[in-house]
Amino acid sequence: MADPTAPAPRAPQPLLPLDEALARLTALAAERRLTETEVLPTYAALGRVLAQALVSPLDVPPADNTAMDGYALRAADVAAVGTVLPVSQRIPAGVVGQPLAVGTAARIFTGAQVPPGADAVVMQEQCEALPGAVRVNTVPQAGQWVRRRGEDVTTGAVALAAGTRLTPQALGLAATLGAARVTVVRRPRVALFSTGDELVMPGEPLKPGGIYNSNRYTLLGLLHTLGCEVSDLGIVPDNLAATRAALKSAADEHDLILTSGGVSVGEEDHLRPAAQAEGRIELWQLSCKPGKPLAVGAITRSGAAGEALLMGLPGNPVSSFVTFLLTVAPVLRVLQGASGALPVAVPLVAAFDLPRTDKRREFLRARLTPEGRLSLFPNQSSGVLTSAVWADGLIDHPAGATIAAGDVVRFLPFHALMA
């Protein structure tokens, strides 16, 4: 049992600025960058990171084609509104037409290749169909409504660079090139556990003094979004021996051990002493809010070579979520060969006042208004998870500053932080 009369220890070091912590973290991750790759069917690669650039073996589109249903013709054949041209052929998508005879038009449908000789398409709304002919009620410009061969991707171009996270649209682009398989970096193997004697798993009755374990769900979701393979090690009680045992057993099989809770300064916070006993602590305590007590270290492996990276997130649910976005996500990106940089902050106008200041750089939960401004969730406590569900992202707010309605602030959208 902890001695209740013991003097409260002081924080031994100044708080680390986030940028400095990030530089050190991404350097640690770069040393551990994953080199193993796997070849996956393209449809199964969502959320994974490309290990090799995808170079296009073809032009996309492969040929000039029409963007509209209408008539393909030579612009020079229509000198005046109302010109009538005989319709010499009909070209649906998937059919290759014949070279277009001079002074004629081809009936054509969106996506069909424009026949050789034609240089423009007139949409059917600007035409009048006549028996065997068409009246063109506009004077077309050469090139109009023609999607040029290779205007999207040219043969030999890097369509998707190594290090690209495969979003749904990136998978679509890979498929456009005909890639049935892609080579991706293997998933980072992450051990996840929550610390806290008060924690109860959803589905179980809440005991006196208990709260439900939410961080497990938030962090599992984030890890899956970022392409990780997760070992869920459940809840670890608040004592040194159990925390040491959990760290030790997780180190061999995992690249990263991710924990929540028990990283602050109380006697019930065992993560740092446990990490020091089983490895080392590299950095602790950020000058940011939420997220101050973040602890980063490495745990020595017993059976395997090297060490596993340890990131101990603060227990407060919003702190866990925000700290993950600001520090764990960059580390996971670097491990997978992507950029560790935080996304570019968007300048937006505040629709609220924030007269108070803080010594720490703050990440405020904010939502876009229909007018394109930002409103602030009224309760910014790091225990209020509703704020993070309500918000669209975080305002990156400098230490010591206030905000008045109309000020421009820097906004980090959640989707960009989770990319």
Ligand X SMILES: Nc1nc2c(c(=O)[nH]1)N[C@H]1C(S)=C(S)[C@@H](COP(=O)(O)OP(=O)(O)OC[C@H]3O[C@@H](n4cnc5c(N)ncnc54)[C@H](O)[C@@H]3O)O[C@H]1N2
**Under the rule (CB under 6 A), what is the footprint of ligand X?**
194-196, 198-199, 211, 213-216, 260-265, 269, 290, 292-293, 314-317, 319, 382
Of the residues 319, 327, 336, 387, which one makes contact with ligand MOO according to CB under 6 A:
319
What are the structure tokens assigned to 290, written together?
A: 């939420």
88 sits near Mg ion (criterion: CB under 5 A): no
Check the CA dihedral 4-235-15-384 and report its sign. Answer: negative
Residue 287 binds ligand MOO, judged by CB under 6 A: no
Per partner kind, with CB cut-offs from 5 to 8 A, the member of ligand X, ligand MOO, Mg ion, none near residue 86 is: none
User: Is residue 382 within the footprint of ligand MOO (CB under 6 A)?
Assistant: yes
Distance of closest approach, residue 391 Cβ to ligand MOO, in angstroms: 16
The C-alpha atoms of residue 29 and residue 309 are separated, in whole angstroms, by 8
User: Is the CB of residue 190 less than 8 Å from the CB of residue 253?
Assistant: no
Nearest in space to 82 (alpha carbons), one of 140, 141, 144, 142: 140
Q: How far is the CB of 212 from ligand X (least distance, A)?
A: 7
Stretch that binds ligand MOO, among 41-49, 118-126, 311-319, 407-415 (CB under 6 A): 311-319
Reference 35, options 255, 161, 186; nearest CA is: 186
Which residue, 83 or 382, has its beta carbon nearer to ligand X?
382
Rank residues 272 and 292 by Cβ distance to ligand MOO and give the closer one.
292
State how far the Cα of 82 lies from the Cα of 36, in Å rounded to an integer.
65
- Comparison of 70 and 315: residue with beta carbon closer to ligand X: 315
Rounded to 5 degrees, what are φ and ψ at 72?
-90, 140
Partner that binds at residue 330, options ligand X, Mg ion, ligand MOO, none, CB closer than 5 to 8 Å by kind = none
Q: Minimal CA–CA distance to 350: which of 406, 282, 306, 301? A: 406
Out of 261, 279, 314, 337, point to the residue binding ligand MOO (CB under 6 A). Answer: 314
Binding partner of 199, given ligand MOO, Mg ion, ligand X, none, CB within 5-8 angstroms per partner class: ligand X
Nearest to 295 by CA among 308, 305, 310, 277: 310
Which residue, 266 or 306, has its beta carbon nearer to Mg ion?
Answer: 266
Does residue number 69 form part of the binding site for Mg ion (CB under 5 A)? no
Residue 213 vs 287, nearer CB to ligand MOO: 287
DSSP type of residue 259? E
Q: Give the number of other CB atoms < 10 A from CB of residue 168.
A: 9
CA distances from 169 to 42, 152, 153, 174, 224 (A): 12, 14, 15, 9, 18
Residues 256-295 that bind Mg ion (CB under 5 A): 264, 266, 269
| Residue ranges in contact with ligand MOO by CB under 6 A | 289-292, 314, 316, 319, 382
| Residue ranges in contact with Mg ion by CB under 5 A | 264, 266, 269
